[in-house]
Amino acid sequence: MRQSGERVRDLYSKLVGTSAGSSPAERVAAVIVHFRTPDETERAAVAVAADAPGAEIVVVDNASGDGIARRLAERVPSARVLEERVNRGYGSACNRGARETRRPLLLFLNSDAYVLPGSVEALVRALDQDEGAAAAGPRLLETDGSLQASIRRLPRFSAR
């Protein structure tokens, strides 16, 4: 029996006509949620554009009113900015960005995070190596290069 991740990738390929031979970056849409962090959002978008030139960059502006679209048009012309009239929160903005792309792989990136060289390709490779995988999470680092504690064990519940 085929795994769910493999079925999703096959269905996507049939719908939009991409092949398994596409470069890793061409299969990725980076969705960056922005709210009044123009320096950080610009850095995040520049990093994705440098690391994964074929990736689609979708920035969802959560009604920041700070002119991020103009700024990104100058620094990262390939980035597409979706301007929201109301800030409905991070999750809603991620969903909006996901709806606006046809790429099979989504990279949700906080505006204060940025990818290091090779990161996007490594995430794609991890998904490709496990046909049952539907998600992959990167290693998060602090600004000094130390590991950021970003994962924890799930809680165990017991009946009393």
> What confidence score (pLDDT) does residue 14 get?
46
Compute CA distances 82 → 58, 68, 127, 150, 154, whole Å: 7, 10, 27, 28, 35
Q: How far apart are CA 129 and CA 121, in angstroms?
A: 12
Are the CB atoms for 54 and 120 separated by under 8 Å?
A: no
HSE at residue 63, side-chain half, CA atoms within 13 A, is 8
State the pTM of this model. 0.80
Specify which residues 31 forms β-bridges with: 58, 108
Largest CA distance in the chain: 60
Start-to-end C-alpha separation, the chain: 39
> What confidence score (pLDDT) does residue 127 get?
93
Residue 88: count of CB within 10 angstroms of its CB? 14
Alpha carbon of residue 63 to chain centroid: 20
Confidence of residue 125 (pLDDT cuts 50, 70, 90): very high
Which DSSP symbol is given to 150? -
Domains of the chain as residue ranges with CATH:
22-129 (3.90.550.10)
Interval 23-54: pLDDT, tens? 899 999 999 999 999 999 999 999 999 999 99
